[in-house]
Amino acid sequence: MSSHAIHSDHEMKKDELKQQHTSITSSTTPLYTVTPIQPFGAKITGIDLSTAQISNALIESIRADIHKHELIIFKHQSPNNNFIVPPSKRLEIAQKLGTIISSHYHHPNAPHRDIFRVSNDAKKGCLNVGRTGWHLDGSFLPKPYNFSMMHIISAPKPGYGQTAFISSRLAVEQVLQKHSQLEELNGVLHRLYFVGTSPNHAIHPVIYPHPVTKKPTMLLHLGMTSAFIEVYDAFKHLAIDEAIKLHQQKDGDKKVLKVYDSAQTQQMLNKLASFIDICKQNGLQSCSWSKAGCLTEFSSDPKNKTALYESGFI
């Protein structure tokens, strides 16, 4: 989910108008209008979250649209409050979407402990957040976030410090599975697990079916990976803890799995970075704000004007 106020509007193209649909309640009362955007995601208009009643119907509609479009952007929010949705309203939405996870640093200027305040100005927010590489939010945790909710307080100007997104589903379906030069990598990634950094050392499959949509999803962090575990074909049907246990029982039998050393881990990270570059070359990158199964690359250029956003994780 995402909130982002664009500096200037533009007239919608005819094909965009045809793609518009309205999320409705059971009484057919419109909640908001959804306009799909390319290469993925959707723009939400016709609702102001700062004044709207956060009903169960609205939450379920938002949840469904996140799963359908992977990234949703609420436009023109809170015009009567300097385009800032009150923190209490954002927390209300997040609490109804799920359980808020506050695993982040707390900046003294954050309006609430459950809101992560990020900036390129140390006086206004936490610095250098998410700039170590493409990643899924919360991948360092044993149970990563279901959603990330971001509210842009001050957006960087075009070309400086945008946060970019790639649909992990499209990355798998349109690039990894279709490009012949990635055939070997495709085979490895489907039996590969990444191990996060200290203190959690969380272990997650790199590719897995999304728990709701069942479509392929990636989970990785190019800047916070300590190792990879490759489970061999004969044992890839096992849960990772079972495979590790069997590996230990066999006294490190290499026929069960392989734990990558530092050099092998870096080589795989380089291959993943190259794969993401191919995704970008194939037009899969979107410079917007949000997440639901999206790889993310944050950038807050210190030379840019103040960039500031507040996010919550669910």
Q: What is the pTM of this model?
A: 0.83
Question: How far apart are the C-alpha atoms of 112 and 106, rounded to whole Å?
Answer: 9
Q: Compute the distance between CA of residue 59 and CA of residue 96 in angstroms, rounded to an integer.
A: 7
Residue 118: the pLDDT is 85
- H or E, element range at 57: helix 56-69
Structure tokens at 182: 């990635």
Query: 177: number of CA atoms within 13 Å, CB side?
Result: 11
- Provide the token pair at 289: 């704000």
Residues 275-308: b if buried by 16+ CB within 10 A, e if exposed: bbeebeebebbbebbbbbbbbbbbbbeeeeeebb
Task: Render each residue's pLDDT in the chain as its tens digit; 314 residues.
Answer: 432 221 122 223 334 434 566 654 445 577 999 999 989 999 999 999 999 999 999 999 999 999 999 999 998 899 999 888 999 999 999 999 988 888 778 889 888 888 888 887 888 888 888 777 888 888 888 988 888 888 888 776 666 666 788 999 999 999 999 999 999 999 999 999 999 999 999 999 999 999 999 999 999 899 999 999 999 999 999 999 999 999 999 877 778 999 999 999 999 999 999 999 999 899 988 764 433 344 444 433 334 344 556 665 65
DSSP class of residue 171?
A: I
Angle at 17 between CA 14 and CA 20, to 5 degrees: 155
- Distance of CA 107 to CAs 111, 119, 123, Å? 9, 10, 9
Predicted local confidence at residue 82, as pLDDT: 87
Quote the pLDDT of residue 18. 43
How far apart are alpha carbons 66 and 211 in whole angstroms?
Answer: 13
What does the block give as tokens for 45? 């208009």
Instruction: Note the pLDDT of residue 22.
Output: 61
Q: Distance between CA atoms of 186 and 184, rounded to whole angstroms?
A: 5
What is the spatial distance between Cα 78 and Cα 82, in angstroms, rounded to a whole number?
Answer: 7
Q: Which helix (H) or strand (E) holds 163?
A: none
For residue 194, the SS3 value is strand
* First CA to last CA distance, the chain: 10
Q: What is the C-alpha separation between 307 and 299, in angstroms, rounded?
A: 10
> Rounded to an integer, what distance in angstroms lies between the CA atom of residue 66 and that of residue 61?
9
Residue 9 has a pLDDT of: 25
Q: Strands 2-3 and 72-74, how do they pair? A: parallel
Burial 71-103 (b: 16+ CB within 10 A, else e): bbbbbbbbeeeebbbebebbbebbebbeebbee
Q: Is the peptide bond before 209 cis (omega within 30 degrees of 0)?
A: no
Please tell me the predicted confidence (pLDDT) of residue 313: 61
Farthest-apart Cα atoms in the chain, separation: 66
CA distance 169 to 70: 9
Write down the pLDDT at residue 214.
93
Nearest alpha-carbon partner for 235 in 247, 250, 220, 248: 247
